[in-house]
Amino acid sequence: MKSETTDPSGAMRHREVLESLSGLLLALFVAMISSTVVSTSLPLIIGSLNGTQTQYTWVVTATLLAATATTPIWGKLADLFNKKTLVQVAIVIFVAGSMISGFSQDTGQLIAARAFQGIGVGGLQALVQVVIAAIIPPRERGRYNGYLGAVMAVATVGGPLLGGLIVDVPWLGWRWCFFVGVPIAVLAFVVLQRTLKLETVRRDDVQVDYLGAALIAAGVSVLLIWVSFVGNSFDWLSWPTAVMVAGGLVLLALAVLVETKVREPVVPLKIVVRRTPALAIVASLAVGMAMFGGAVFLGQYFQIGRGYTPTEAGLLTMPLMAGVLVSSTVSGRLISRTGKIKPYLVAGTIVLVLGFLGLGAVDHATPLWLVGIAMAVVGVGVGMTMQNLVLAVQNDVPLRELGAASASVTFFRSLGGTIGVSVLGAVLANRVSADLAAALHVPAGQAATGGVSALNLKALPPQVQAVVHTVYGDATAHIFLISAAVAVVGVLAVLLLKPITLRTTIDLDKTGEPAAPEPAAR
């Protein structure tokens, strides 16, 4: 007998969905604000710890890499244990990582703490998607993507502003950028406990592929470390390059071998090789590389390249978030109304390319209104693609494979972001190092700023500060052009998708057709 709180299709009523979503959206907000509240203050944080551009990149990369490696594991655990409990466990891990980050004494400790925090972030970003998919049919999910977009926008707009205010207030300091998320996380935990009523749909035969996840994480880590240091600490053609590249490729080859042998692979090949999931994953990889890789350095552009305070930098990134909010809300409702998703994915990826091309033309003197327009265009592209690529994959799989499928597409999106941040950060670091040496008439490879971090502007002489502004402002455009080129891959992937009509039921039957199971929530 069906619960009286559900309709005949097995879906929850709108009011109950909103009640259940409240805790999930708070949890998602906590995960997102952990990055955004630090985004505008990170140049000051790394500068105060006398860190380098490479360490700046790795503070971001460490979180993304840990989240990427653990996302598929969280997805598998969602098929084995209660999803609500797992979300709460992820919140606890996130809170612990935040506290450790706030007490870090040097960049090494901060990078390690952010990696631990990333384990919780990986759980939140995977499990929120899984729970939402378990209570809302794909056709109806588009309308709720607007709420997800609103949370993304508030976290991404409010985070930088909050982070900027925190570091600009003398009696707070940058450590509160990490502490401030703790009460919000506690609130999310309590709200989830009170509002989310979710039955445990357990598969007794689930096995978690820890070895596959470890090999993937290790292989990617080795290659990203190589990218960070090649051309600076050692040459492209050298024995460290040979060892690290060969080692990374061997580890990834072993990961593929393990994934073909184990019964429950962390990246299920039977899902990812199907046309719709495969193309959506390729597009997610490209969009993740472009979006994370490009957006991470916007705060640095405004502060180091243009000389604005962290608070001002947060305000200046608002056009990007406004584009995300508007496009995700509008496209989500249109998708729910029509049931068609491909046209919005195609339009979104094309707009993303155009936006990054616009940002690729900026320098240290570009009028702010032109930079704002380009950021808004990027935001529109992101809002039309990120959640809808996940939705396309979820629509193609039955409920029993939902955790693995959702985690897989999130995994590759995070992997793309990790690679994007690391590669673009390495490009920026090498470019800045060479340009600073040339501008200050220092031999290549020598510290152009006399051992003081170029990000620690207050410790530099005024004439050197002016050079640093110019060099960073001009060099940032190159990474946006690379982001545009990567985003073109996303355009090609979504063009190859078959037309998709979203189903109106939560599950598929054994023939692959839509079916209405017993409700997963009450």
User: pLDDT tens, 472-502?
Assistant: 888 888 888 888 888 898 899 889 888 777 6
pLDDT at 321 over 70: yes
C-beta of residue 309 within 8 angstroms of C-beta of residue 155: no
Mean pLDDT of 75-103: 85
- Split at pLDDT 50, 70, 90, the class of 267 is confident
Distances (CA, A) of 310 to 31, 36, 41, 456: 21, 12, 6, 13
Interval 274-284: pLDDT, tens? 788 888 888 88
Residue 267 one-letter amino acid: V
Each residue of 351-372: pLDDT tens digit? 999 999 999 888 888 899 999 9
Query: What's the mean pLDDT when you consider all of the chain?
Result: 77
Check whether 236 has a pLDDT greater than 60. Answer: yes
- Predicted local distance difference test score (pLDDT) of residue 295: 66
Q: Mean pLDDT highest for which of 181-190, 263-272, 508-517?
A: 181-190
* Residue 171 burial class via C-beta count within 10 angstroms: exposed 0-12, middle 13-18, buried 19 and up: exposed
Structure-derived torsion over alpha carbons of residues 269, 272, 275, 281, reported in degrees to the nearest 10? -150
pTM of the shown model: 0.71
* CA–CA gap between residue 329 and residue 102 (Å, rounded): 34
Q: Of residues 480 and 463, which shows the higher confidence score?
A: 480
Q: Which residues pair with 6 in a beta bridge?
A: 12
Query: What is the three-class DSSP state of 368?
Result: helix
Q: Rounded to whole angstroms, how far apart are CA atoms 434 and 442?
A: 9
- 442: confidence class by pLDDT, cuts 50, 70, 90: low
Q: Of 157 and 123, which is predicted with more confidence?
A: 123
CA dist 200 → 82, 197, 204, 517 (Å)? 5, 10, 12, 15
Q: Which residues of 477-489 are buried (b: 16+ CB within 10 A; e: fewer)?
A: bebbebbbebbbb
In whole angstroms, give the CA distance from residue 218 to residue 240. 17
In the chain the first and final C-alpha atoms are separated, in Å, by: 12
For residue range 144-198, what is the model confidence (pLDDT) as tens digits? 666 776 776 677 667 777 877 888 877 788 888 888 888 888 888 888 887 777 6
H or E, element range at 515: strand 514-515
* Helix/strand/coil for 198: strand
Give dist(CA 454, CA 469) in Å, integer: 10
For residue 153, give both structure tokens.
């926008």
* Spatial distance between the Cα atoms of 343 and 353, rounded to a whole number of angstroms: 16
